[in-house]
Chain A
Amino acid sequence: MNENSKTTRPPGASALSLRVSRAAYYQLGALLISLLFMALIVIFSGESPLRVVSSLWDGAFGTADQFARVLATLTPLLLCASGLIYTFTAGLYNLGVEGQIVVGAVATTWVLRALQNQVPAPLVIALGIIAGMAGGMLWGLLAGALNVYGKISEIFAGLGLNFVAQGLAIYLIFGPWKRPGVASMSGTEPFDESLWLGRIGQTEASPVALVIALVVLIITIVVMRNTYYGLRLKAVGQNPRAAFILGIPSTRLLLSSFAICGAFAGIAGALQVVALFHRLIPSISSSLGFLALLVVMLISFNALWILPMAFFFSGLNVGSLQLPMALRLESSLAGVIQGTLVLFALLARGLSERAGKIKRSQ
Chain B
Amino acid sequence: MNVQLQHIYKNFGAVQANDDVSLSVESGAIHGLLGENGAGKSTLVKILSGFITRDRGEILLNGQPAGIKTPADAIRAGVGMLHQDPLDFPPMTVLDNFVSGRPGGLFINQRAASHEFKALTSQFNFELDVDEQVSNLTVGERQQLEIVRLLALGVQTLILDEPTTGISASQKSALFAALKKLAAQGKSVIFVSHKLDDVAELCHAVTVMRAGHVVGTATIPCPSARLVSMMFGRELAAPSKPQTCRDDVVLQVQHLALSDGRMDVRIDRLDVHCGEVIGLAGLEGSGQRLFLLACAGILRPAAGDVRLHAARNGLSSMAGKPYHDFLKAGVGYLPADRLREGLIWGLTIQDHVALRTPASSAFIDRDSTRQNAELAIQTFNIRGRTDTRAGQLSGGNQQRTQLALLPPALNLVLMEHPTRGLDIESTIWVWQQLIARCQAGTAILFASSDLDEIVQYSDRVIVFSGGKVSAPIDTTSLSAETLGEMIGGKF
CB distance from B47 to the nearest CB of A (A): 19
- Contact of A4 with B by CB under 8 A: yes
Q: Note all chain B residues with C-beta closer than 8 A to A231.
A: 347, 351, 354-355, 364
**B423 partner, pick from A1, A234, A241, A246, beta carbons under 8 A:** A1
- Contact of B169 with A by CB under 8 A: no
Q: Note all chain A residues with C-beta closer than 8 A to B340.
A: 239, 241-242
**A245 partner, pick from B335, B381, B388, B397, beta carbons under 8 A:** B335
CA distance A77 to B374 in the complex (A): 41
Residues 336-372 of B, flagged 1 when their CB comes within 8 A of A and 0 if not, give 0001111111110001101110010011101000000
Residues 1-38 of B, flagged 1 when their CB comes within 8 A of A and 0 if not, give 00000000000001000000000000000000000000
Determine if B341 and A241 form an interchain contact, defined as CB atoms under 8 angstroms apart. Answer: yes
- Contact of A227 with B by CB under 8 A: yes
Tell whether A12 pairs with B388 under 8 Å between CB atoms, given A227-B364, A245-B298, A246-B356.
Answer: yes
CA distance A238 to B425 in the complex (A): 33
Determine if B327 and A247 form an interchain contact, defined as CB atoms under 8 angstroms apart. Answer: yes
CA distance A55 to B406 in the complex (A): 61
Most buried by A among B324, B347, B355, B423: B355
CA distance A16 to B349 in the complex (A): 14
**B341 partner, pick from A12, A232, A245, beta carbons under 8 A:** A245
Q: Note all chain B residues with C-beta closer than 8 A to A218.
A: none
Quick one: closest B residue to A232, CB to CB? B355
- Contact of A44 with B by CB under 8 A: no
Determine if B323 and A16 form an interchain contact, defined as CB atoms under 8 angstroms apart. Answer: no
Determine if B423 and A242 form an interchain contact, defined as CB atoms under 8 angstroms apart. Answer: no
Q: Note all chain B residues with C-beta closer than 8 A to A243.
A: 344, 355
Tell whether A238 pairs with B345 under 8 Å between CB atoms, given A12-B384, A232-B355.
Answer: yes
- Contact of A2 with B by CB under 8 A: yes
Tell whether A238 pairs with B347 under 8 Å between CB atoms, given A12-B392, A249-B324.
Answer: yes
Determine if A4 and B345 form an interchain contact, defined as CB atoms under 8 angstroms apart. Answer: no
Most buried by B among A3, A238, A241: A3
Determine if A238 and B346 form an interchain contact, defined as CB atoms under 8 angstroms apart. Answer: yes
Most buried by B among A13, A228, A243: A228
- Contact of A274 with B by CB under 8 A: no
Quick one: closest A residue to B14, CB to CB? A1
CA distance A3 to B364 in the complex (A): 33
- Contact of B204 with A by CB under 8 A: no
Residues 395-413 of B, flagged 1 when their CB comes within 8 A of A and 0 if not, give 0110000000100000000
From 380 to 394 in chain B, residues with beta carbon under 8 angstroms from any chain A beta carbon are 381, 383-385, 387-389, 392-394
- Contact of B426 with A by CB under 8 A: yes
CA distance A353 to B426 in the complex (A): 33
- Contact of B291 with A by CB under 8 A: no
Determine if A228 and B362 form an interchain contact, defined as CB atoms under 8 angstroms apart. Answer: yes
Determine if B343 and A242 form an interchain contact, defined as CB atoms under 8 angstroms apart. Answer: yes
- Contact of B446 with A by CB under 8 A: no
CA distance A243 to B344 in the complex (A): 7
Tell whether A12 pairs with B387 under 8 Å between CB atoms, given A246-B356, A248-B355.
Answer: yes
Most buried by B among A7, A15, A227, A247: A247
Determine if A12 and B385 form an interchain contact, defined as CB atoms under 8 angstroms apart. Answer: yes
Most buried by A among B339, B342, B366: B342
**A3 partner, pick from B339, B351, B387, B396, beta carbons under 8 A:** B396
- Contact of B333 with A by CB under 8 A: yes
Determine if B423 and A3 form an interchain contact, defined as CB atoms under 8 angstroms apart. Answer: yes
- Contact of A11 with B by CB under 8 A: yes
CA distance A244 to B389 in the complex (A): 19
- Contact of A235 with B by CB under 8 A: yes
CA distance A180 to B385 in the complex (A): 69
Tell whether A228 pairs with B354 under 8 Å between CB atoms, given A3-B394, A238-B346, A241-B340.
Answer: yes
Quick one: closest B residue to A246, CB to CB? B355
**A227 partner, pick from B344, B355, B363, B389, beta carbons under 8 A:** B363
**B388 partner, pick from A4, A16, A227, A228, beta carbons under 8 A:** A16
Determine if B345 and A239 form an interchain contact, defined as CB atoms under 8 angstroms apart. Answer: yes
CA distance A13 to B351 in the complex (A): 17
Tell whether A11 pairs with B347 under 8 Å between CB atoms, given A4-B383, A231-B364, A242-B341.
Answer: no
Quick one: closest A residue to B296, CB to CB? A245
CA distance A232 to B347 in the complex (A): 10
Q: Note all chain A residues with C-beta closer than 8 A to B356.
A: 246
CA distance A1 to B419 in the complex (A): 12
Q: Note all chain A residues with C-beta closer than 8 A to B383.
A: 3-4, 7, 10-11
Q: Note all chain A residues with C-beta closer than 8 A to B405.
A: 246
Q: Note all chain B residues with C-beta closer than 8 A to A232.
A: 355
Tell whether A13 pairs with B385 under 8 Å between CB atoms, given A3-B423, A245-B333.
Answer: yes
CA distance A2 to B394 in the complex (A): 12
Quick one: closest A residue to B393, CB to CB? A11
Most buried by B among A10, A241, A244: A10
Determine if A10 and B388 form an interchain contact, defined as CB atoms under 8 angstroms apart. Answer: yes
Tell whether A244 pairs with B347 under 8 Å between CB atoms, given A7-B383, A13-B385.
Answer: no
Q: Note all chain B residues with C-beta closer than 8 A to A11.
A: 383-384, 388, 392-394, 397
CB distance from A260 to the nearest CB of B (A): 14
Quick one: closest A residue to B349, CB to CB? A12
Determine if A247 and B324 form an interchain contact, defined as CB atoms under 8 angstroms apart. Answer: yes
Q: Note all chain A residues with C-beta closer than 8 A to B366.
A: 226
- Contact of A163 with B by CB under 8 A: no
Determine if B342 and A242 form an interchain contact, defined as CB atoms under 8 angstroms apart. Answer: yes
Q: Which 3 A-B pairs have the closest CB atoms?
A: A12-B388, A2-B423, A228-B359
A-B pairs with beta carbons under 8 Å apart, 13 shown: A3-B394, A3-B423, A4-B381, A7-B383, A11-B384, A11-B392, A12-B388, A13-B385, A242-B343, A245-B333, A245-B341, A247-B323, A248-B355
| Interface residues of A, Cβ cutoff 8 Å to B | 1-4, 7, 10-13, 15-16, 226-229, 231-232, 234-235, 238-239, 241-249
Give 14 A-B pairs besides A2-B425, A3-B383, A7-B394 with Cβ atoms closer than 8 angstroms.
A1-B14, A3-B396, A10-B385, A228-B364, A235-B355, A238-B344, A239-B340, A241-B341, A242-B339, A242-B344, A244-B298, A245-B298, A245-B335, A245-B341
